[in-house]
A = this chain, B = another copy of it.
Amino acid sequence: MSATRIRQQNLAAVVELLHHGGPQARAALTETTGLNRSTVGDLVAELVSHRLAEERAPDAARRAGRPSPVVALTSHAVAIAANPEVDALTVAAIGLDRTILARARIVWDAEASPALTATLLGEQVRSWRSTLLAGHRLVGAGIAVPGLVRADDGVVRDAPHLRWRDVPLAALVRRETGLSTGVGNDASLGALAEHRFGAARDADDVVYLNGGASGIGGGVIVGGVPLGGAGGYAGEFGQNRPGIEDAADRRVPGGVLEDEVNRTRLLTALELRDADDAELSRALGAADAPAALEEIERQRRILATALANAVNVLNPGVVVLGGFLASLAGRDLEGLAEDVRAQAMSACAEGLELRLASLADDRLLVGAAELAFAPVLADPLVETTVA
């Protein structure tokens, strides 16, 4: 810890507070950082001079005393966020103030190859650079991939849905875009997004489970920090084997959670062919056929055990459910919470809250952008653009 790093840390603390907590009075920053007024004033001035922040007229204060100017981050620093899926590549440009400056959905018919992904991203970035993003500063790219990702070098180990294996995606994208690029698992980035800006904003220990068409993904926040693990693969709840008390509840011998708690099975039981999550939620709410109700209850039983296992080990304050798991739980969220508490250690389940995910479609892009913003949040004055 050298004398120069102290500045870096303090600037980072201010930027992080603004990024997480949104615009706020300079006096509030003084309060929460514990730094001196004069120091905070200086820090903010430096951020303003680098166009990372702005000072605005004070809010209509109802307090005595001199009003404190409101400090807000700008959208000058921009991250490129991307999310490749089977049918399309979604790209967005997101400012440090979390405004979405641009967004594109590029549908692909042919196979979604990593090279194509990188090329399309490169083109999109070039196009935006000269138009919408002229004058902005691109700080990096973040990509949310539905699959296993090695955190340190951004290699996609296995994304079955996309049929990618051992793809050095970060390197490919860096070459095409000239941006320093981070790659992460989609569910882990969803967890990060829900923690920072969504349903679990107030909790520092969070378990997030997302039910997708292809399986169940998860992410964990521990003490406010994303849980990575030794290789960065942590959070694979979908491959767990939870206890199934009644053998008749088992559908797949030797199967895992996502074989049993499964979107397709749910659709079949509801006699639906194709449905998005909103339709599925409606159908679940309206279901009354005995076979459908039985399947719903079966999946809820197994999910409750899986959640209880997670709660015993991680003792989260909040569990967030997204995708079809939100639909499944939404029928009776408190009832599911009770089932979880009944199977978890009482102390671990004390004060546990189950919540539905709240960030809708932007979740993955917001999470991916966080990946790109990480260096800026750690050291706001770094120059990150690579090429």
Contacts A157-B347, A220-B313, A223-B228 hold; do A243 and B241 have CB atoms under 8 A apart? yes
A–B Cβ pairs within 8 angstroms, 10 of them = A1-B9, A1-B13, A2-B34, A150-B347, A218-B313, A228-B315, A230-B351, A231-B350, A240-B312, A309-B309
A1-38: which residues lie under 8 A (CB-CB) from chain B?
1-3, 6, 9-10, 13, 34-35
Contacts A6-B6, A310-B313 hold; do A227 and B237 have CB atoms under 8 A apart? no
| Nearest-CB residue, chain B, relative to A240 | B309
Distance in Å from the Cβ of A225 to the closest Cβ of chain B? 7
Whether A343 is near chain B, meaning CB under 8 Å from some CB there, is: yes
Whether A229 is near chain B, meaning CB under 8 Å from some CB there, is: yes
Contacts A235-B313, A310-B313, A315-B232 hold; do A243 and B242 have CB atoms under 8 A apart? yes
A212-236: which residues lie under 8 A (CB-CB) from chain B?
218, 220, 222-223, 225, 227-236
Distance in Å from the Cβ of A33 to the closest Cβ of chain B? 9
Q: Is the interface of A mostly helix, strand, loop or mixed?
A: loop
Contact (Cβ within 8 A) A233 B308: no
Distance in Å from the Cβ of A66 to the closest Cβ of chain B? 24
| Nearest-CB residue, chain B, relative to A36 | B2
Copies in the complex: 2
Distance in Å from the Cβ of A316 to the closest Cβ of chain B? 6
Whether A244 is near chain B, meaning CB under 8 Å from some CB there, is: yes
Residues of B within 8 A of A13 (CB): 1
Whether A148 is near chain B, meaning CB under 8 Å from some CB there, is: yes
Expressed in whole angstroms, the Cα–Cα distance for A309 and B238 within the complex equals 10
Contact of A347 among B158, B244, B308, B309 (CB under 8 A): B158
Contact (Cβ within 8 A) A233 B1: no
Contact (Cβ within 8 A) A3 B1: no
| Nearest-CB residue, chain B, relative to A230 | B317
Whether A135 is near chain B, meaning CB under 8 Å from some CB there, is: no
Contact (Cβ within 8 A) B234 A313: yes
Contact (Cβ within 8 A) B236 A313: yes
Residues of B within 8 A of A235 (CB): 313, 315
Contact of A230 among B231, B241, B315 (CB under 8 A): B315
Residues of B within 8 A of A203 (CB): 230
**Max count, chain B CB within 10 A of own CB: residue among A203, A231, A310:** A231
Contact (Cβ within 8 A) A315 B229: yes
Whether A314 is near chain B, meaning CB under 8 Å from some CB there, is: yes
Expressed in whole angstroms, the Cα–Cα distance for A232 and B9 within the complex equals 28
